[in-house]
């Protein structure tokens, strides 16, 4: 449902794309129609809708990520997560028709994190130390978001949607790390350590992934709600009547 409204916003405010098909609120095929429009519009929404104040979410700018535990200190600064615009829809379930509706959305894709890093300590038994540029590539990242959709009124009495109390879960198939300037540029030590880190990527990602995914979900929810606040429901779904 959420990404269908995104589609309508693009249709109304950007370039009136001819491939957009409006979905009717009372149509028994509503969910199928919504899913098709989501698949058509997902990559466009992630690039932002400036006219509505909806920012681009590819890349997602991240707050600093700090890991301090198990003998390892790692910081990522100036971090950004890339790849959301290439994600594919994996799940969509919407309960429509009441003042509080359930919403599930799943998407999957390859993502990469770029950042400045500083690391000192051990990965399991192997020492690691360095600072410089980092690229972390995560393959087949699957995120599932569950939320409530509520209806809120604007100053003109028009109903808008809003996502509240979102929960999420995620899975990552594999990860590779590329950390420049490990051990002050000692190539032999760096290659050995990176090879070991990539073989044991799960240990690092158990600490790194949660704050990164949390920020991605928070950014997505914020962008969607920004869009919802600008466009009344009746302007996005044919047949919807304000109560």
**CATH number of the domain residue 81 falls in:** 3.15.10.30
Instruction: Say yes or no to pLDDT of 110 above 70.
Output: yes
Q: Which residues pair with 136 in a beta bridge?
A: 113, 177
Residue 33 lies in a domain: no
By residue count, the chain amounts to: 243
Residue 218 lies in a domain: yes
Residue 62 lies in a domain: yes
> Which pLDDT tens digit goes with each residue over 124-137?
889 999 999 999 99
Distance CA 93, CA 106 (A): 9
Residue written as tokens 């050995």? 192
Distance CA 4, CA 45 (A): 10
Least confident of 24-28, 56-60, 140-144, 146-150: 24-28
Q: Which has more pLDDT, 57 or 146?
A: 146
Instruction: Say yes or no to pLDDT of 157 above 60.
Output: yes
Instruction: Say yes or no to pLDDT of 39 above 80.
Output: no
Residue 165 lies in a domain: yes
Distance CA 199, CA 197 (A): 5
Compute the average pLDDT of residues 20-33.
Answer: 71
Residue 238 lies in a domain: no
> Which pLDDT tens digit goes with each residue over 163-198?
999 999 999 999 999 999 999 999 999 999 999 999
Residue 44 lies in a domain: no
Distance CA 215, CA 205 (A): 15
% of the chain with per-residue pLDDT over 90: 47
Q: Which pLDDT score is estimated for 25?
A: 77
Residue 27 lies in a domain: no
Q: Which pLDDT score is estimated for 99?
A: 59
Q: Which pLDDT score is estimated for 11?
A: 36
Pick the closest to residue 126 from 203, 211, 19 (CA basis): 203
Q: Which pLDDT score is estimated for 115?
A: 97
> Which pLDDT tens digit goes with each residue over 191-228?
999 999 999 999 889 989 999 999 999 988 888 888 78
Instruction: Say yes or no to pLDDT of 9 above 60.
Output: no
User: Residue 101 belongs to what domain range?
Assistant: 58-225
> Which pLDDT tens digit goes with each residue over 229-241?
887 888 777 887 7
The number of domains in the chain is: 1
Residue 130 lies in a domain: yes
């Amino acid at each position: 449902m959420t990404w269908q409204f995104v589609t309508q916003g693009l249709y109304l405010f950007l370039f009136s794309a001819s491939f957009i098909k409006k979905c009717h609120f009372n149509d028994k095929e509503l969910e199928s129609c919504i899913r098709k429009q989501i698949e058509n519009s997902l990559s466009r929404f992630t690039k932002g809708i400036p006219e509505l104040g909806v920012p681009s979410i590819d890349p997602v700018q991240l707050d600093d990520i700090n890991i301090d535990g198990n003998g390892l200190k790692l910081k990522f600064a100036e971090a950004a997560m890339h790849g959301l615009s290439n994600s594919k829809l994996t799940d969509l379930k919407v309960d429509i028709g009441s003042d509080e509706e359930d919403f599930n959305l799943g998407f999957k894709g390859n993502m990469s994190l770029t950042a400045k890093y500083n690391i000192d300590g051990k990965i399991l038994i192997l020492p690691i130390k360095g600072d410089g540029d980092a690229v972390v590539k995560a393959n087949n990242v699957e995120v599932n978001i569950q939320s409530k959709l509520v209806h809120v009124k604007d100053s003109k009495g028009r109903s808008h949607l809003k996502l509240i109390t979102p929960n999420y879960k995620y899975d990552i198939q594999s990860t590779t790390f590329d950390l420049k300037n490990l051990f002050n540029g000692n190539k032999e030590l760096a290659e050995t350590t990176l090879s070991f880190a990539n073989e044991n990527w799960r240990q690092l990602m158990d600490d790194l992934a949660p704050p990164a995914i949390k920020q991605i979900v928070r950014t997505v929810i914020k962008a969607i709600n920004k869009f919802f606040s600008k466009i009344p429901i009746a302007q996005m779904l044919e047949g919807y009547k304000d109560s």
